[in-house]
C-alpha cells in the first residue's frame, strides 16, 4: 500500500482530491476497482499514512524519499484485498 501511495503522490502531488486519486489509481494505473481503491485510501487514513481534510488526502510520510521500482505493477503482483469491515472513503 505504501508503494502505491508513494507512486500516487509522486505523480500527482500532495494534497490530492479523493476523486482524482481514485481516477488515477483505478483507471489510469489499473490498480483495482474504484471501490477497492477507496477502501485502500480508507485503510491508509485509519493507519495514519494519509490524512483526510475536506475532500483531499494529504501524505503523512516522505513519499519523495522512497526508492521505487521502475514498474510498480510488477512489484505489486496481486491486487490488494480488503476485509468487508473497511468502508470505502467517499
When pLDDT is cut at 50, 70 and 90, the band that residue 16 belongs to is very high
Contacts of residue 67, Cβ cutoff 8 Å, sequence gap at least 6? none
One-character DSSP codes across 46-78: HTTSEEEETTEEEE-S-TTTS---S-HHHHS-S
Dist. CA 55–CA 23, nearest whole Å = 14
Average pLDDT rounded to a whole number, residues 61-82: 61
pLDDT at residue 14 tops 70:
yes
Residues 23-71: tens digit of each pLDDT = 999 998 888 899 989 998 998 898 888 999 999 999 887 777 666 555 6
The domain spans of the chain are 2-74
The helix (run of H) or strand (run of E) holding residue 21 is helix 18-22
Query: pTM for the full model?
Result: 0.69
d(CA 52, CA 16): 10
CATH, range 2-74? 1.10.10
Amino acid at each position: 500500500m505504501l508503494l502505491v501511495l508513494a507512486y500516487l503522490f509522486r505523480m500527482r502531488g500532495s494534497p490530492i482530491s479523493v476523486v482524482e486519486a481514485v481516477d488515477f489509481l483505478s483507471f489510469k494505473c489499473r490498480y483495482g476497482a474504484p471501490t477497492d481503491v477507496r477502501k485502500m485510501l480508507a485503510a491508509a487514513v485509519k493507519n495514519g499514512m494519509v490524512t483526510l481534510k475536506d475532500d483531499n488526502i494529504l501524505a503523512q510520510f516522505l513519499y519523495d524519499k522512497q526508492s521505487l521500482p521502475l514498474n510498480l505493477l510488477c512489484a505489486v503482483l496481486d491486487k490488494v484485498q480488503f476485509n468487508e469491515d473497511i468502508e470505502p472513503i467517499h
